[in-house]
Amino acid sequence: MRLRHLAIALVAGLTTWPAVAVGEEGRGTIERLYVIECGQGHANDVSRWSPGVNEGKPIDYVSNCYLIKHPQGYLMWETGVGDELAAVPEGRGSFTRWRLARTLASQLEELGLKAADIKYVAASHTHFDHIGNVELFPNAMLLVQKAEYEWPNPLGVGRFKPEHPVTKLEGDHDVFRDGSVTLLSTPGHTPGHQSILVRLAKSGPILISGDAAHFKENWDARRVPSFNVDRDKTLASMDRIAGILAQQKAQLWIHHDKPQSDAQKKSPAYYD
């Protein structure tokens, strides 16, 4: 016990971030975590995410959705590319060509769920491959960082429909108030980027990155994509995540990493 507290103090001492508000009082767990395939991407030059490294090298990557089942309700983490892309077999996009093999709606249906069964929706940030299906859930409470919500899109208008119910967050958020699901403020890729930490009874704690890092190689080398809005904050967020992984003894799931995704079981199978 004393050792554990010492470790936490050491980790806390390495960072200027407030200690994450999970793990000490809250010891709740979620019931199930489903990994749902929500987009298949191909880019011709991976160095966009690693300036000066791997120039001209193509990459296949993924954008999954994650359905969290908690006794108080379902939370959808990330919503992938929009379901309408399933009707476009050749895919769409310039830098990355995105395709969608199966819609999110059909995969929820396979679980016996309707969009109305989802209580909360949270995405790591507002790039289109993460919020493509937000409006599948028009009545679900959006959990979004205020800085992301208020970040205007290139046309100067908001990124969410003003009528969509929303809770604007300013920092970490313990969704069910039992420590089982915590949104973590990890800005840098975008102004209000967030990651998520979930606790499972058998699988233990899992931290899902969002785009705090894009691929395992880039995480290991702490590479910052050229188009991130803030390089220093990106590096600080990666440090923060590393500290939380150590403090919580959590696994890191890197959102876009295809080899890692390929090794994960997919819905209707689940982690518990």
Between 62 and 200, CB nearer to Zn ion: 62
Each residue 89-128 as x (binds Zn ion by CB under 5 A) or -, in order, gives ----------------------------------------
| 140 touches 165 (CB < 8 A) | yes
- Which residues are paired to 174 by β-bridges? 182
To the nearest whole angstrom, how small is the minimum distance from the Cβ of residue 256 to Zn ion? 6
**Phi–psi pair at 76, nearest 5 degrees:** -100, 120
| 255 touches 127 (CB < 8 A) | no
Point out which span in 6-14, 15-23, 51-59, 208-216 binds Zn ion (CB under 5 A). 208-216
Between 83 and 129, CB nearer to Zn ion: 129
Site for Zn ion in 160-179 (CB under 5 A): none
- Which residues are paired to 61 by β-bridges? 41
To the nearest whole angstrom, how small is the minimum distance from the Cβ of residue 63 to Zn ion? 6
To the nearest whole angstrom, how small is the minimum distance from the Cβ of residue 113 to Zn ion? 24
Residue nearest to Zn ion (CB): 211
d(CA 270, CA 111): 11
d(CA 51, CA 105): 36
Each residue 122-161 as x (binds Zn ion by CB under 5 A) or -, in order, gives -------x--------------------------------
Between 129 and 178, CB nearer to Zn ion: 129
d(CA 7, CA 116): 42
Between 131 and 244, CB nearer to Zn ion: 131
To the nearest whole angstrom, how small is the minimum distance from the Cβ of residue 222 to Zn ion? 18
Between 178 and 257, CB nearer to Zn ion: 257
Of 105, 21, 35, 17, nearest in space to 270 by CA: 35
211 binds Zn ion (CB under 5 A): yes
Between 129 and 172, CB nearer to Zn ion: 129
To the nearest whole angstrom, how small is the minimum distance from the Cβ of residue 72 to Zn ion? 28
Between 199 and 256, CB nearer to Zn ion: 256
To the nearest whole angstrom, how small is the minimum distance from the Cβ of residue 168 to Zn ion? 21
Point out which span in 30-38, 78-86, 210-218, 220-228 binds Zn ion (CB under 5 A). 210-218
| 207 touches 218 (CB < 8 A) | no
**Distances 105 to 64, 66, 263, 267 between C-alpha atoms, Å:** 13, 13, 23, 12
Contacts of 145 (CB under 8 A, 6+ apart): 168, 169, 170, 185, 187, 191, 192, 193, 194
To the nearest whole angstrom, how small is the minimum distance from the Cβ of residue 194 to Zn ion? 13
Report how far Cα 154 is from the mean position of its chain's Cα atoms. Answer: 22
Helix ranges restricted to H, 37-194: 104-110, 128-131, 146-149
Q: What residues line the site for Zn ion (CB under 5 A)?
A: 129, 211
